[in-house]
Structure 1
């Protein structure tokens, strides 16, 4: 399933450009534009795209960064002026980004859509397990030393994601009478899942934090690509045949999908 996992694209763009770039993009050095904001300088990455016809600013919620897509031949000075003119637009959208939630004691993180408190149990044996906390609320209990807590939580979420996605994929593969290949997990910023021509499926492990019906929908979506490697009418009929709440899941992803990228990290 293609599509952004969050982010904002500037509603304005520069004039169209048609000249050819005399220097191949592969030979260009990395380009950056420094934008001075209230809390200090921000580096805006310049990405040269031979298919681009205009300048486009994007604030990506998943990566929490700002990029400028530009045609290969546009002078850096022109791009810099474009970014400076949209300084306020960038500032507002960065302020609107949800705050990061680290995997640390006391943090609330969703598991299958239900908030769980992280409880550190340094003297306990094992790794991570689910059990009510002292107030009877859902919690992730993490054993071991504090420096390993974040890694253990993420490893646990990935294991849970693999188990849930494998179960869902097998269910929908049986329903559609198709075979699938390997299932891999990634931390992608631009898509929730994909299906290769060979039948290998890839998913974002962060889907384990979404409600189960959302994870199930993504599994059905990618399995359906084993019969239709497109998003035509027949493809959507196949998806809705096995996953009637497809539109509800898509609506949830549009509203809340980018929030899944706020959890974890440094």
Structure 2
């Protein structure tokens, strides 16, 4: 098991101690359960008036399902020499280049990394974050222009449970691991969050705007359902 995230509790689920994080949400209308691939745990989202006890009751009512899904999660993919990490959906070999300079960069199907082995993981992650910031920011700006909207800013985050978000103030945020997914997946996620600049809900108008910005909704959501948990285990 990975280290429990800050604030998580270890709770017995189907006989195994499992990290469980409770999150309060003013926007949530009902209690929900979500797997956290990074910690191999569970996130319970509570509406403002829901109690922790009610959240636990939902967890225990579905603990067989939760245990089954947690057991099926892929193993972590460490950023280490010799590992293959996807970039735009294509596997790239992490290749040390100790005699070179420049940190880390992508070249001919490889992620080249300079310096000592102790700094390799951080340098690879920094390389992917830079790429995500460059490409996702540009994609968001173009889609916002097409929609006649303007984000306040675009941020790249190290999230493990969601690919993107849109704050009420117009700030868009994306998980850096999104750059590991194929281009059509990135296109859909960015379009989805840009559409929230116009509609902070999932109304028919929101979906109509999303689908006017990308043709990849069905294909991308299917891909994320099947492959997203694996990407969230990178790093």
TM-score by structure 2 length? 0.79
Residue of structure 2 in register with 1:121 after alignment: 97
1:106 positional shift? 0.3
Q: 1:131 aligns with which of 107, 132, 146?
A: 107
RMSD: 3.3
Higher gyration radius (CA): 1
Residue pair 1:103, 1:149 contacting (<8 A) in 2 also? yes
Q: Given the alignment of the two structures, is residue 230 of structure 1 paired with residue 230 of structure 2, yes or no?
A: no
Residue of structure 2 in register with 1:263 after alignment: 234
Deviates more, 1:186-195 or 1:205-214: 186-195
Residue pair 2:21, 2:42 contacting (<8 A) in 1 also? no
1:189 positional shift? 2.9
Residue of structure 2 in register with 1:254 after alignment: 225
Pairs aligned (count): 221
**Are residues 219 and 262 of structure 1, via their aligned partners in 2, closer, same or farther at CA, if it must alter by over 3 Å?**
same
1:36 positional shift? 9.1
How far apart in 1 are the matches of 2:33 and 2:137? 37
Q: How does 1:78-89 map to 2 (within 5 A)?
A: none
Higher relative contact order (CA 8 A, sep 6+): 1
SS in 1 for 2:11: strand
Residue pair 2:19, 2:39 contacting (<8 A) in 1 also? no
Residue pair 1:33, 1:46 contacting (<8 A) in 2 also? no
Residue pair 1:112, 1:211 contacting (<8 A) in 2 also? yes
Q: 1:185 aligns with which of 151, 156, 162?
A: 156
